[in-house]
Amino acid sequence: MSMSDASIPVFEIGLNALAALLDKAEAYAEAKRIDPAALLNARLFPDMFAFTRQVQSACDQAKNAAARLAGVDPPGFEDNEKTFAELKARIAKTIA
């Protein structure tokens, strides 16, 4: 089994789980009438990245590792997502 065969399914599982967490966070914000930006910009600790950046980083780790394992240059994604829908689209683009 190659490193690629062992790694890529794990990245995909993790990213799908992250997409499900985004669905739950979005539903929670809607149910509690919380501004989605409050959750998307939340940090567990002041020196941590905001939730949005955490999702972007998870996608970057997966796409960069997969590209390097394939021996190609990793694709570049702009870090401009600001909504749950945009973050879920980034996850889907990373998996594709």
Q: How do the domains of the chain map onto residue ranges?
A: 3-95
Asked whether the whole model's pTM tops 0.95, one would answer no
Distance CA 12, CA 22 (A): 15
* DSSP secondary structure letters along the chain: --HHHHHHHHHHHHHHHHHHHHHHHHHHHHHTT--HHHHHT--SSTTSPPHHHHHHHHHHHHHHHHHHHHTSPPPP------SHHHHHHHHHHHH-
Binned at pLDDT 50, 70 and 90, residue 72 comes out as very high
Q: What pLDDT, on the 0 to 100 scale, is given for residue 24?
A: 98
Binned at pLDDT 50, 70 and 90, residue 74 comes out as very high
Tokens of 57: 């980083």
Q: What pLDDT, on the 0 to 100 scale, is given for residue 56?
A: 99
Cα-based distances in Å from 57 to 31, 32, 35: 27, 27, 23
Q: What pLDDT, on the 0 to 100 scale, is given for residue 51?
A: 97
Over the stretch 7-62, which tens digit does the pLDDT of each residue have?
Answer: 999 999 999 999 999 999 999 999 999 999 999 999 999 999 999 999 999 999 99
According to CATH, the topology of domain 3-95 is Four Helix Bundle (Hemerythrin (Met), subunit A) (1.20.120)
Provide the sign of the torsion angle of the four alpha carbons 68, 70, 72, 73, taken in this order: negative
